[in-house]
């Protein structure tokens, strides 16, 4: 199943500057593994100790995956996955 | 260097004063590649805290989609410190992930006089930069050769 993944500026070094890339998978975890296979280094920027890194927000279509199963969030053919760095600080 | 219109500086300071003692935060978007802050977008601090700020995740998605559709980028990302100086905290540095943005900090710890400073934060390295406040970008000098040295 193919999904479109939007890549934020800071991670585009891993995609040759591309803003959007295609990936495959039935869950977010599978999509990230598939991204890693084609764009090495991305997974480590997104996943830490088996969960999503707290510095990034990931959305499937309009939904923050933190409220939809995290890495186990389901993705369907044609879905849009958006990765955004959290904007936060102290 | 950050070159920024006075009305945008005033808007950031007003937002910081309004939300004091909680931290205020927001973005000034501008055309991609221009490095020119133009569209003031105050954001809600989802943390509503005097020591932390965070864009709400739904607001964040909406903001980036909106900027994308206008071919804009976050030229300035600002937030306030309400009890400390306008210098990035360790938390600010760990979260900073827009290498092309100017990170502007406004301190409101003094009720009369604010402090506003700007930084680049790239790979955990903080570099302060001068802030040039202008009335209009149209009449502002843009080439490095046009700008006289300041003492």
Q: Kindly report, residue by residue over B81-133, the tens digit of the pLDDT.
A: 999 999 999 999 999 999 999 999 999 999 999 999 999 999 999 999 999 99
The answer to the question of residue B151 being in a domain is no
Query: Residues B129, B116, B4, CA angle at the centre, nearest 5°?
Result: 65
Chain B, residues 22-81, CB within 8 A of chain A, namely 25, 27, 43, 47, 51-55, 57-58, 60-61, 64, 73, 77, 79
Residue A86 in contact with partner chain B when CB distance is under 8 A = yes
Q: How far apart are CA A52 and CA A58, in angstroms?
A: 8
The closest alpha carbon to B81, from B9, B10, B17, B4, belongs to: B17
Q: Using DSSP, state whether B117 is helix, strand or coil.
A: strand
ipTM: 0.92
Residue at B102 is within a domain: yes
The verdict on a CB contact (< 8 Å) between A88 and B96 is no
Q: A36-88 pLDDT, tens per residue?
A: 999 999 999 999 999 999 999 999 999 999 999 999 999 999 999 999 999 99
Q: What is the CATH number of the domain that holds B14?
A: 3.40.140.10
Contacts of residue B138, defined as CB under 8 A and 6 or more positions apart, other chains included, come to: none
Whether B54 and A87 lie within 8 Å, measured CB to CB: yes
Identify from B64, B75, B92, B94 which residue to disrupt to test chain A contact, counting A C-beta atoms within 10 A and taking the largest count.
B64
Chain A residues closer than 8 Å to B27 by CB: 87
User: A89 to chain B, minimum CA–CA distance in Å?
Assistant: 4
Q: Report if residue B112 sits inside a domain.
A: yes
Residue B108 CB neighbours (<10 A): 22
Q: Which domain holds residue B43?
A: 2-136
Structural domains of chain A sorted by starting position, each given as residue range(s) with its CATH number in brackets: 2-85 (3.10.20.30)
How many structural domains is chain B composed of?
1
Q: CA-to-CA distance for A26 and A66, rounded, in angstroms?
A: 17
> How many CB atoms lie under 10 A from the CB of residue B98?
21
The predicted pLDDT at position B138 comes to 82
């Amino acid at each position: 199943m193919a999904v479109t993944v939007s890549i934020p500026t800071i991670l585009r070094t891993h995609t040759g500057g591309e803003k959007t890339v295609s990936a495959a998978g039935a869950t977010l975890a599978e999509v990230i593994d598939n991204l890693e296979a084609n764009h090495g280094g991305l997974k480590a920027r997104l996943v830490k100790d088996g969960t999503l890194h707290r510095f990034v927000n990931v959305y499937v279509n309009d939904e923050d995956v933190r409220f939809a199963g995290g890495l186990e969030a389901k993705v369907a053919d044609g879905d849009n996955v958006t990765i955004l760095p959290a904007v936060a600080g102290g | 260097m950050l070159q920024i219109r006075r009305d945008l500086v005033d808007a950031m300071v007003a937002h910081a004063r309004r939300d004091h003692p909680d931290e205020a935060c927001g973005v000034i978007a501008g055309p991609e590649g221009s490095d020119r802050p133009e569209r003031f977008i105050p954001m809600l601090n989802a943390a509503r805290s005097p020591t932390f700020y965070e864009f709400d995740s739904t607001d964040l998605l909406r903001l980036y989609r909106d900027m994308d559709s206008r071919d804009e980028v976050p030229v300035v990302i600002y937030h306030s410190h309400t009890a400390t100086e306008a210098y990035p905290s360790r938390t600010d540095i760990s979260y900073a992930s827009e290498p092309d943005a100017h990170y502007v900090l406004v301190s409101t710890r003094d009720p009369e006089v604010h402090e506003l400073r700007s930084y680049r934060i790239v790979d955990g390295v903080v570099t302060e930069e001068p802030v040039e406040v202008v009335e209009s970008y149209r009449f502002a000098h843009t080439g490095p050769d046009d700008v006289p040295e300041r003492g």
